Homo-oligomer: A and B are copies of this chain.
């Protein structure tokens, strides 16, 4: 029993108990490829978040161990990702100046908050909260963020100084300085962009044509960014371009990060609560969808609560080692999967690879030009931009499309956080609007049977004094008022009406608002000389109604079948 409970807590025990020698080789090979891909990405996303380069490496070690222990996906690769880095920059720059110790401290606090929230959600089994984010909102958010990130990197390609957290700010700061473009930087940036776009499409086929061994093909095909980093670093170092104004990463301190507890500052923690929640939510949704896609290909399963725990541990790990918020990355996980990773041990090997890099290779990054990192980011995020889904949503549903557009508009004009909040608010409002008027059918008796059907679709018998109404939806706060009004109006249309019978066969829930509305309806109808009856109430709904004095407040009766109601209230018409 205890063992079972522990296994449920630590999914790692599951795969560790059956870990074989052949698995070691598969995982190590995958880890090698992911490490080569992750090094430039770590540096680049740290730059995107406005943090020193080494912080990107720190965020790529402990988090991988944390996820490996608690996460349920066998192949998800966690670490710094583009969207979370952008959101980190947006949140942290509101409370601290970029480049200061305070800024770094705030990023670490963001990671610890995010980690604690994700862990708490795991304990409370709040995975369903991801439902707040509808697909169109997520798709709109990711695409808009991709465009915003790519745009924000143009300054590095052009070699000019500019800032801004919205499209408008970025363009208005870029525009007056375009004339000051630094030509050597631009040449490096454009070359890197061209090389990366080429490598993305053409490198693998080329390597295959060269008949290299499969592992070498896989490794080199993913090494595009690493090659760009090496080549541009060599060029800058040889030609002393850094002394001619090409901005470089500069000194990156070597050695493993010191572990430490993030500083506690109540004001700062409070200011970062909402951003941390949004980063957690977006990160969780993205991560789970990647994990599920990959798990399905091997008929494996993902447990959303374990994913919350895994991502929570990853972020707490990041914070303890001085890193910033992390989550599961799409491209990285696919590479890990395709390269043959079979267990999260691949993640642990990757962490070791990054650790070795931090110990021995940081000296090489001094002359690495920012423009190359910016090119890496642009190529990576443009794969997030998906205009197809926008067109498709437009075709499928104008309502979903408007939620998507408002999300994108929010991201472009106010910022990433506003975008998410606007998207969530819009989808909830539109959903309320959609369901605020449920389908209500006036029904009549099918001749010769005890069945009742919609009068508009079937030839049925209706009573002159009894109005029979069927509601095809649960009754709750969003539709309670509409129901009250529309039944009241229908009842008053015919002055002969003396009874209204509500057929509740499709009603799975009557919440407290609908209860009040039914009582108000009963009272309003009674004031107008009409009795309200209910029929065919489901068991659990009736149980709830019996907990309060509803039946005594109802002007009419409750009938087991709609037929028995009609037989009693209008025996002359009823067959």
Q: Chain A interface (Cβ within 8 Å of chain B)?
A: 128-136, 289, 292-293, 296-297, 299, 301, 304, 392-393, 395-397, 399-401, 427-429, 431-434, 436-437, 439, 472, 476-482, 485, 488-489, 492, 506, 508-509, 511-513, 515-517, 520, 523-525, 527-528, 544, 547-548
Contacts and interface: CB of A to CB of B under 8 A. Distances in A.
A128 B427 contact: no
A547 to B, nearest CB: 5
B134 A296 contact: no
Contact of A128 (B399, B433, B517): B433
A293 to B, nearest CB: 7
B296 A528 contact: yes
A68 to B, nearest CB: 23
Tell me the number of copies of this protein: 2
Given A128-B436, A292-B520, A299-B528, 19 more contacts: A129-B432, A131-B477, A134-B476, A135-B480, A135-B513, A135-B516, A135-B517, A293-B524, A296-B523, A296-B525, A299-B527, A301-B489, A301-B492, A304-B485, A393-B512, A396-B512, A396-B547, A397-B512, A439-B508
Nearest to A439: B508
Contacts of A527: 296-297, 299
A297 to B, nearest CB: 5
A128 B482 contact: yes
A296 B524 contact: yes
Contacts of A547: 395-396
A436 B131 contact: yes
A278 to B, nearest CB: 14
Report, nearest first, the 7 A-B pairs whose CB atoms are least far apart: A134-B477, A296-B524, A400-B512, A135-B513, A135-B516, A134-B513, A128-B436
A429 B281 CA distance: 14
A522 to B, nearest CB: 11
Given A400-B511, A524-B296, A431 B131 contact: no
Given A296-B523, A544-B397, A131 B478 contact: yes
A377 to B, nearest CB: 27
A156 B151 CA distance: 60
A355 to B, nearest CB: 34
A303 to B, nearest CB: 10
A516 B128 CA distance: 17
Given A433-B128, A472-B508, A135 B299 contact: no
Contacts of A131: 432, 436, 477-482
Nearest to A126: B433
Given A131-B477, A395-B548, A492-B299, A292 B508 contact: no
B512 A134 contact: yes
A134 B476 CA distance: 8
Given A128-B482, A489-B301, A434 B548 contact: no
B135 A396 contact: no
Contacts of A133: 477
Contacts of A508: 439, 472
